[in-house]
Amino acid sequence: MVDRPGMITPEIAEKYGVSPHTVTKTWARHPAWPAPAGKRGRYKEYDAQAIAAFVRGHIERQGVKLEPRRLYTAQQLENAGIGIKASTIRADLTRGRWPEPDDTEHGVNRWYGQTVMTAMTGRRNYRRST
């Protein structure tokens, strides 16, 4: 197999775990998307390092850093800048895509920071916090 310095849409999609549609209709429309380096077959070819830099700078999200033993409500998590709205947390909780609350005193769902940080590492495009 030949190791190519360039990547085409299907290769980009496979490497980053997204659909080719996401690459062409969302990422490639971003102003910071790199210019094509050439063409391979019917696809534009992009420099692999330029694509990696774009993903690091515009797609990947930094790991969440919260106080591990503090309890947070969904709204407090949104305000802490975890990248997810409180309404999304509530919806994901009802769909089983968010962990059960660590505390429900007075009918308020609250999660420990550690629970949230663990949950966020399983979401797409979130890096582990260091």
Query: What's the mean per-residue pLDDT of the chain?
Result: 88
Q: In what order do the strands lie in the sheet with 38-40?
A: 6-7, 43-47, 38-40
Low-confidence ranges of the chain (pLDDT < 70): 1-4, 61-63, 124-130
Domain boundaries, the chain: 6-59, 71-121
73-94 tens-digit pLDDT: 999 999 998 888 999 999 999 9
Of 38, 32, 13, 39, nearest to 24 by C-alpha is 13
pTM as predicted: 0.57
